[in-house]
Structure 1
Amino acid sequence: MMSIQPQEQKITRARVALQRSRELKRSRRAMGVDGIRQFVKDVDGDWLDNWTDTAQSENIPISCTSLQILLIETFLYFSVLSYWCISLPFLYNYSSTNTEAQLLSF
Structure 2
Amino acid sequence: MPVIEIQGKPVHVDDEGFLTAYDEWDEELARVLAQQIGIDLTDRHWDVIRFLRDDYRTRGETATTRRVNAVGGIPVKEQFALFPKKPGKKMSYIAGLPKPHGCV
- The TM-score by the shorter chain falls in which range? under 0.3
Which structure has the bigger radius of gyration? 1
TM-score (normalised: structure 1): 0.27
TM-score (normalised: structure 2): 0.27
Higher relative contact order (CA 8 A, sep 6+): 1
User: Higher helix share goes to which structure?
Assistant: 1
